[in-house]
Structure 1
């Protein structure tokens, strides 16, 4: 059965004082069932030497906020190039993504969202819940033509309440599409896909907030997607 992994991470805060909060998802089809921590390991290992050479450090984890904005385009190019040689993910015909590695990103203005918020639930949880739904839109709009499994990995349990707010709507939408979905919380230091999602979110936020990192943001736009491809079954 076709499997998809979706890694979700954010940049910024949902506080009322924040002008931009971005949430991105990195998508791939794993080639094995060994778990979310193994997919994209080759790709992140190709990115680390580039980051550490620039930072003159030996960091074990990639974070945009460590000062990697100046080389964000190079890092995203490295990720895209390495993904075509990464044996932990599918790269050939039959996958339902347009590329071996692709992503989505969505931005919010917490400053504005807090002004129009109502109800008892903290506004930040609703922002996060809506960002989950927006990032999973390709699944929610997918036309039923075959069964597949999706594993969504969120960066830490700060997403717990937000997931509660939207999980059952997502499950209800997918139940007749032949799509099985599960959600997990993980630490980014264990999960390569979360570190790549961190880079994408950081780039998008810098562009939307400060009009910086144009070259990197062009890559974000170029390799973003709206729709899944139809599943190609063996003849």
Structure 2
């Protein structure tokens, strides 16, 4: 039985909405999602939520960038020194050095494939009592998350904590406007995660199909 014009239009609307929803999911900043999960875990135990610091998040991304290509059994192997934070990470991010505070903990993890934030949180970042205890440390005041995926390889995550006064440390020059981040993403930023050419191409294809559907819908109205 042929569909009526009204029903046909309804089918096209539903299809377009689904495609647009998929496009929006692809363009989200999943580092921010992970900070939300960290804070929900803390507030569920009546612990204070942590300030989402873009300066710390950017450094977390710089940190985990050095681990790319070194993931064995979902464990990253990173050759990072304390000097790297002040000599490489902070300058790359535009963190004002006089505001460089104290970092009090870190959680790093990797996986052979990309995981959505909820799975990354439970299977990679908080997979044992040590990382769970660090996440729930009462002295923490700030947090930052960075994530990146190696080209055709594993994904990497990094969480950095600080116990300094919120909003007064790890300040980004020009509020971070000058940071050009081509891969991955970090929390505290509205920029969507970038997964490389393949993920960008997939997003563009989805948007193209969605626009095509809208054109067809308008033609039949």
TM score, norm. by length of structure 1: 0.23
Structure number with larger C-alpha Rg: 2
